[in-house]
């Protein structure tokens, strides 16, 4: 069991409340990232105001970066100590994902705003988590090690498109490249 310090939105338009939260250990395809930095943008604000009705209480945060602390048994893409940026979640097996366009994953909205894994489970105790597959408003984030979901910094540095807000249009107000070429990063 992990114990993290998280900024939790408990009610519509409520403040960020700093709480200790228990989180299950990572599954085989998941990693734990010690969060060093995270951004905040309109997608977080939309959920706080319940413009997007993700369940509350919830740990928001979808632009996290940090250092890999633990990895699941099947993870090969990163090792403990790697510096990573966490990007948008994708399922890895839909037609868009298999076609090399994970930004257009048909499960993107569910994985981003559903506040649970795709199988409906929630590793967070007493609060909802898994926001954008990371909930990075916390000292530690649980993320999948899938392609692009948690990208080593050395790779991300070569792919500027991966470093913008990961929210797919039209859910984020920040401009994004409309081209699908932006989803070809490793």
Site for Zn ion in 38-57 (CB under 5 A): 41, 43
Q: In angstroms, what is the minimal distance from the CB of 75 to Zn ion?
A: 19
Please identify which residue in 6, 9, 91, 151 interacts with Zn ion, judged by CB under 5 A: 91
Stretch that binds Zn ion, among 5-13, 95-103, 117-125, 136-144 (CB under 5 A): 95-103
Q: In angstroms, what is the minimal distance from the CB of 62 to Zn ion?
A: 6
Please identify which residue in 38, 135, 167, 183 interacts with Zn ion, judged by CB under 5 A: 167
Distances (CA, A) of 77 to 41, 82, 151, 163: 28, 10, 8, 19
Q: Which residues of this protein are in contact with Zn ion, per CB under 5 A? A: 41, 43, 90-91, 94, 97, 105, 165, 167, 172
């Amino acid at each position: 069991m992990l114990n993290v310090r998280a900024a939790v939105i408990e009610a519509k338009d409520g403040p960020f409340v700093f709480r200790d939260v228990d989180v299950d250990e990572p599954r085989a395809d998941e990693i734990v990232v010690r969060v060093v930095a995270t951004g905040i943008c309109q997608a977080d604000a939309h959920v706080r105001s319940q413009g997007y009705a993700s369940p509350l209480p919830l740990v928001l945060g979808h632009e996290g970066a940090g250092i890999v602390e633990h990895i699941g048994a099947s993870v090969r893409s990163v090792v403990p100590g790697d510096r990573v940026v966490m990007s948008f979640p994708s399922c890895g097996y839909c037609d868009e994902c298999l076609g090399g366009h994970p930004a257009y994953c048909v499960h993107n909205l569910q994985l981003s705003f559903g506040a649970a894994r795709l199988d409906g489970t929630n590793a967070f105790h007493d609060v909802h988590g898994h926001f954008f597959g990371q909930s990075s408003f916390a000292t530690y984030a649980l993320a999948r090690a899938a392609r692009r979901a948690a990208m080593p910094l050395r790779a991300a540095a070569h792919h500027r498109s991966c470093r913008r807000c990961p929210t797919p249009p039209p859910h984020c107000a920040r401009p994004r490249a409309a081209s699908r070429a932006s989803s070809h990063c490793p």
